[in-house]
Each structure stands twice: as C-alpha cells, then as structure tokens.
A and B are shown apart, each in its own frame.
Chain A
C-alpha cells in the first residue's frame, strides 16, 4: 500500500456526531464515487491505528478530498479526529480503495441508495457525481436518521432533489416525534421502498445499502420483499 501525506484544510460540523474533514493532497488521486480511503495514525512509540472512511466529495472535486467521520465514543481513530485534529495537521491516507460499492455515470440507472445515519456518506459522493456529470440516471436516496439534527447534508440533498432532474430524496426519522414537513417517521419499511420504486418507475438496476449491520439487514430484507433481486443489491456495513 502506498500512503500519502495529506493536510487538513477544513473541518465542518455536519451533526452532533458527524464532521467533515477536508484534505488537500500534493497530487490528485482519481477515485470513483463510493470508494473509501484508509487513514493511518502513528503514535510516538510507533503504534499505528488504521481505519477506513468513505469519501463524501465527488470525483470531479479535484482540489480536496472530503471524509465525513462519525464520532464513535469507544473508538480510537474517530475520537482523535473529533477531539484532537485541527486544520493544518498532516495525516497519512491510502490510495482510494474499493471496487465493488461504487457507481459512475457511465453505469447508468435506475439506482436506489438506502443509507442509515453516517451510512449515506458514499451516497453523497454518488449524488454529487451524478449532478456534476450531468447524468440523467434516475436515482433515489432513502435516508434514515435518528433525529432532524442527524440528517447530515440535508440542505444539499434537498437542493439536489429540488432541481427535479431525476434525483429524489426520501428522508425518514426514527426518533423524532414530530418530523418536519415532507419527512417520514419510523424505520425503513415496505411503504418507503414502494415509494422509492414508484419514483424510479420500476425496479432499480443496482441497489446500494449502507449503514449499521441491523440497518442493512432490515433494508435488504425489505428490498428483496419488494422484488429486487438479491444479486443486484450491494451492501456496506459499518462494523467498527
């Protein structure tokens, strides 16, 4: 594995538990929407910790790389980013990784993306790539979060959907008693998948599901129940 040193150029809070970290690198490293990079931290005694984070920025954004990182209280690397890292710090990043949970405009559609919490990060890259590339592939993002504050990138996603160019957002909140107008309530269920399929005008060519393991299990089961072939469903489970 080749590692490169990147500099943190910006930190933007997206929710109480998720922040975006922007990195500049000496040379742009091409990637495909949906890919991730490994981050490597090294202690003075040589101890290293390595974790992978999905890329949120679009491949067309060559000036910086955006990683949106959720703070896990019992984690080792994410608390470092949230509590210690600051603009100007140098961090080692791997080359972009992952040749499976990816989408590019040439792949076409229709595309269904189902994300739970920080699991929508790879879908930000896909949605931004779709907009940047002028793709007309029908695409629905079904986004499940706990509370209104956890709808990371909510304004940007709403703006993309508002263009009425074939990108649709369905948001649902699982722990909000009074969700805002246009936002659903409860876990991913059959009716939400039905709504997504009606917006896509049929079954998706690819379905991507990303989130915690229980979230992915539920969303995958609902998708299969709705008639989507298991072989057309790709999952990414945020384990640790």
Chain B
C-alpha cells in the first residue's frame, strides 16, 4: 500500500541501497538499546565460560582470554529496530579459536549465549563457527564501552544485532534450540536480516 505523500529519503546511492537489508535504513551514530540497566563489570572480575549442557568445559579470565589469537573484523550490522550501520570495526577472539583452545569440537547444533545481566539469546552453533562470530572486546579501536556491552559482547554480525549479546559471559551448547530473552518475547528464533525475520512468525 503506497502511503499518500511519502517519498522516503531521496538520493540513496545504489551502493548504499544494495547493502541495506529490506526495511533497514543507514544510521551514522550507534544507538543504544537494552532491556535493563547497564551492568558495570570490572575486567579483573570478568570470566567467560564454555559449557556443554550443564557441564563446564573451559573458562578464561581477562588475561587468559587476551592470550588467545586476536582477530579483527569489519562488518555491517543490522538492528531489528530498522537501523543499520556499515563497516563497524571489532577486535576479539573467534569462537573457533576458543573451541580450539578448549580442545573440543562443537558438541551440539544449538548454542545459548548468556550475559552478566541474565540476558540470553539462542544462535545455531553453525552460525558461530567458521569465522562467522567472535567475542569482541574492542570496537573502533577502543575498549567497548559499558553501554555498548563492554567488557565483552558476542558479535554475530550476519544476524539481527540483538543476537550479539552485550555483557556476554558464556556460551552453552544445548541439545535442543532453547529460546532466549527476546526470542521468548515475540522475536524471531533465527533473525536473518536479509529474510527480514524480525518477529516470531516472519
């Protein structure tokens, strides 16, 4: 249905248009959206755990985590609230390198990410490996600020950005696809921006 009198922002060059998933617009800032207060976690207190179900597999403190291979990643990101941001620059540790350090292959096809504030989000394990995802500790050349998820956030840039959990402190491999915080509250279980999977039934 065409909306009377609406033409949209003009002059969007093709190189912008082609990089924007359906229903998204290009944002130059970096909006902050979170469901609760910003937790303040000191890096001295920070730990990250890998779990297979309820069984702890491996954990790292901040120093140990920085001894792992560090990777740089520049990606476009897409928020379900319809803003996208191009060429965001992140540094951190690939999930592949964490698994290698733990000496395991992914034990199940489903993963639930956990955060310090109790937030959770589910991501298929195959979307976390093969260089697709990292635990990021730096954004745009600096430590990630607390309101953007620092000290560390999950980065799964090819899915809507709520999957890139802020204040992340663990990945748990699960037997079944366990829904996370927003996925239990009306948002899509997978969240592919290019298929516009915003809400449960999309």
Contacts and interface: CB of A to CB of B under 8 A. Distances in A.
To the question of whether A and B form a pair in one complex, the answer is yes
Interface of A: 1-2, 5, 41-45, 47-52, 76, 80, 84-85, 89-92, 97-101, 213, 217, 220-221, 223-224, 230-231, 233-237, 239-240
B106 interface: no
17 contacts: A5-B1, A41-B6, A41-B8, A42-B3, A43-B7, A45-B8, A50-B23, A76-B8, A89-B5, A98-B185, A100-B35, A213-B31, A220-B36, A234-B35, A235-B37, A237-B34, A240-B81
A80 B186 contact: no
B82 interface: yes
Nearest to B38: A217
Interface string B67-97: 0000000000001011100000000000000
A65 B6 CA distance: 22
B5 A80 contact: yes
B33 A49 contact: no
Interface residues of B, number: 37
B202 A1 contact: yes
* Chain B binding surface, main DSSP class: loop
3 tightest A-B contacts by CB?
Answer: A239-B31, A99-B185, A220-B37
B36 A235 contact: yes
A112 B190 CA distance: 34
Contacts of B199: 1, 97
Contacts of B38: 217, 220
Contact of A240 (B4, B31, B202): B31
Contacts of B39: 230
B81 A230 contact: no
Give the interface centre of B3, B29, B31, B81 by most chain A CB atoms within 10 Å.
B3
B54 interface: no
A97 B39 CA distance: 26
Contact of B8 (A47, A51, A213, A234): A47
A3 to B, nearest CB: 8
A80 B37 contact: no
B117 interface: yes
A92 B42 CA distance: 46
A43 B3 contact: yes
A168 B22 CA distance: 44
A237 B81 CA distance: 11
Given A1-B202, A43-B2, A240-B83, A235 B185 contact: no
